[in-house]
Chain A
Amino acid sequence: MSTYSYKDLILFGEGLKVYFSLARSLTEVLTFKKGRNVRAVDGVNIYLPRNKVTCLVGESGCGKTTLGRSIIGLIRPTEGRIYYKPSKELEELMEKEGVPKREDFYDITDVSGKIYKLLRRELQIVFQDPYGSLNPRMTVKEILEEPLIIHGIGESEDERLEMVIKALTDVKLTPPEEFLNLYPFQLSGGQRQRVNIARALILGAKVVVADEPVSMLDVSIRAEILKLMLDLKENRDLTYLFITHDLAVASIICDYINIMYLGKIVERGPTDEVIKNPKHPYTQALLVAVPQPDPKGRWVIKEVPIKGEVPSAINIPPGCRFHPRCLYAMDICQREEPPEYLVGKDHYSACWLHKEKK
């Protein structure tokens, strides 16, 4: 268990696994081969401290998006539990329905449809692609009004319109009246992402999973969207799980960082700790690989301390899953999966090297 104090958390998941089963080929069926799985998330603990930005960093295919979606119930985990500390209102209802409890947290892994719908108001997501995540045939007003209608919020259309206008103002799409009747194609990438954020927040979200929200935006406007998200976090007591592949961005905006490799979190801790004092060989390699804005670098061939390529999530190597690529791999790494070692304050690394040092 982590040293995170439970009282600081708003949501956490333990022992999470998400497997996607592959279709068996005819030969596999005839030879009675067992069906194979893509082990997208393969035994992960994740903790979201309240009102903080927690980052999930990893390469494409490491399972970061799947993990992000599973903790807010968009994908049902194959194994593991997700615990959440809901708002007062929802808490009463969960108490009445007898949802299993652990300290102040309710187990939201399996909940009734009624509670799930109410949870959805509090657990939201901002998708990566600002172009694909807005319906091109709906106006901004319709896009933002839809969740209100689905959740039966607002007595009349006028009341809902007021909420939509407020939501647009909150994400600084001003004057809001000018945006109401525009279609997504009439907006810039940055404006679209603001609409996405407004949509995530309009039902009063508490936890927001932001899945690469700025990676498709131009450099000069990325920071503007990030700043908006950070301001909203302060003003509305939001908690973020920020999914990104960009360590530089993560180092600037995150309080805590989780480094994910092939379905596992290999290192986690406070951002400055992890960036300045990385312990896991994979994190060290990632940090070396990040391009630096210093023109002297053009004379140097950079040796990234890693070998080979990412294996498929269908055939995860035994033992430590990083061992085939690790420059420090030992015998034990090929046989046994390393546990998480505490390597600093709240700083964990899952690597056998730390055992040696002890």
Chain B
Amino acid sequence: MPLLEVKGLKIYYFTLRGVVKAVDNVSFTLEKGESLAIVGESGSGKSTLGYGLIRLVPPPGRIVEGEIILDGTDLTKLPESRIRREIRWKRISMVFQGALNALNPVKRVGDQIVDAILAHESVTKKEALQRAMELLKAVGIDPRRVNNYPHEFSGGMKQRVVIAMALALNPDIVIADEPTTALDVVVQAQILNLLKKLKQERKMSIILITHDLSLVAELADKVVIMYGGKLVEIGSSDDIYTDPKHPYTKGLMASIPRLGGKKELYWIPGNPPDLRSPPPGCRFHPRCPYAMDICRVKEPPYYNIKDVSVACWLFEEKKSGG
């Protein structure tokens, strides 16, 4: 049984100007010790999906349908009080986007980690502080700095503190939402190393939310590609990188700037859809070079090709054509 199973999840925002289907019928599984990347452009619903998993979708957003099953318990059915006490941070924690602003500037970093521990466990403050120091050590920060304020740390170190905070209750799953966007490449490489170590040594499951496919390759075992609120392709990163199936995935792969690669520029023409009125049929059809008549009217089902699952009509053709 997988550690986490998401089934037919729908998260909509009920805005005054219409319903935004930010996450529309998304399913995937995550094993213990596995890292999964959710990849998409801005507005693809990837962050909403991440927030949904710890039931933190901001209003007017709401989980409309679907199941989030963690170890046999459906999180969508639990009352908020139990989520807060038993699940959030304890089982699934999150490294928020823009982590540089995620720390309280007028509170010592140690106390901030202690708060998280005391909110969930009946330990003394002293014990909690001891744990906080161990956590700082685990993420590569001198434990003596436990009494420093956030402004005394550099960007990369703040990011480490935020990761330490996410690890405070030894969760099974850590969701990292664009954990390195504001960081320079050298620091980014260090943070990636840290996440790789946590995964290997603690058998932690990681969900990485990002738009950067180079970053994904450095960490993820499995990749989910989102487009306009839909999951369009899912598979192992080996499969997705060597043989992308969906035209959108192909386009994304081709548009990665590669160091020392070909000096050609490739992009996907057009703009991402407005999720208040997404195009009918396949949401990618207005930008798709292979769009057929059926793509404009009917949404594609998922086709399983070996271990990859892809939502695209092109594979119907191949099936019927033998």
Q: Spell out A's residues near B (CB within 8 Å).
A: 59-60, 188-190, 218-224, 226-227, 230, 245-249, 251-253, 275-276, 285-295, 297-298, 301-302, 304, 306, 309-310
Contact = CB atoms under 8 A, between A and B. Distances in A.
A297 B259 CA distance: 15
Interface stretch (B75-83, B126-134, B250-258): B250-258
B48 interface: no
B185 interface: yes
B259 A251 contact: yes
Contact of A218 (B187, B190, B264, B272): B272
Contact of B238 (A251, A291, A295): A295
B255 A222 contact: yes
Nearest to B190: A304
Nearest to A306: B186
Given A220-B267, A275-B260, A293 B220 contact: no
A301 B191 CA distance: 11
A247 to B, nearest CB: 6
Nearest to B253: A293
B241 A293 contact: yes
B154 interface: yes
15 contacts: A219-B41, A219-B255, A222-B267, A223-B265, A224-B267, A251-B259, A291-B215, A291-B217, A292-B259, A293-B256, A295-B220, A295-B240, A297-B218, A298-B218, A310-B154
A218 B269 contact: no
Chief secondary structure at chain A's binding surface: helix
Contacts of A293: 213-214, 217, 241, 253, 256, 258
A276 B261 CA distance: 11
Contacts of B185: 59, 245, 247, 286, 289-291
B115 interface: no
Contacts of B214: 248, 290-293
A297 B195 CA distance: 13
B213 A188 contact: no
Interface string B185-215: 1111110110011000000000000011111
Contacts of B299: none
B320 interface: no
Residue with the greatest number of chain B CB neighbours at <10 A, chosen from A222, A252, A295: A295
Interface of B: 35, 41-42, 154-157, 184-190, 192-193, 196-197, 211-215, 217-221, 237-238, 240-241, 251-253, 255-261, 263-269, 271-272
* Closest A-B pairs by Cβ, 8 of them: A223-B267, A59-B184, A295-B237, A223-B265, A248-B257, A291-B214, A289-B189, A220-B268
B198 to A, nearest CB: 11
A298 B267 contact: no
A190 B271 contact: yes
A244 B145 CA distance: 33
Contacts, number: 138
A286 B211 contact: no
A224 B190 contact: no
A271 to B, nearest CB: 9
B5 to A, nearest CB: 23
A227 B267 contact: yes
Given A219-B212, A227-B265, A291 B188 contact: yes
Nearest to B241: A295
Residue with the greatest number of chain A CB neighbours at <10 A, chosen from B185, B256, B267, B269: B185
Contacts of B189: 288-289, 291, 302, 304
A59 B190 CA distance: 15
A291 B41 CA distance: 19
A18 to B, nearest CB: 21
Given A285-B186, A302-B193, A224 B269 contact: yes
A226 B197 CA distance: 36
B268 A298 contact: no
A289 B186 CA distance: 5
A304 B186 contact: yes
Contacts of B196: 298, 301
Nearest to A302: B189
A59 B156 CA distance: 12
Contacts of A285: 186
A204 B255 CA distance: 31
A66 to B, nearest CB: 17
B148 to A, nearest CB: 15
A249 B157 CA distance: 27
A218 B259 contact: no
B197 A275 contact: no
A72 B175 CA distance: 44
Nearest to A215: B181
A249 B267 contact: no
B200 to A, nearest CB: 9
Contacts of A247: 185, 259
Contacts of B255: 219-220, 222-223
A275 B193 CA distance: 23
A275 B260 CA distance: 7
A310 B185 CA distance: 12
Contacts of B190: 304
B257 A246 contact: yes
Contacts of A286: 185-186
Given A226-B265, A249-B257, A292-B259, A218 B217 contact: no
Contact of A221 (B238, B264, B267): B267
Given A221-B267, A291-B189, A248 B258 contact: yes
B265 A219 contact: no
A221 B271 contact: yes
A189 B157 CA distance: 31
Nearest to A57: B185
A295 B261 CA distance: 16
Contact of A297 (B186, B197, B217, B271): B217
Nearest to A312: B154
Given A227-B267, A291-B212, A293-B214, A218 B42 contact: yes
Given A247-B185, A289-B185, A219 B220 contact: no
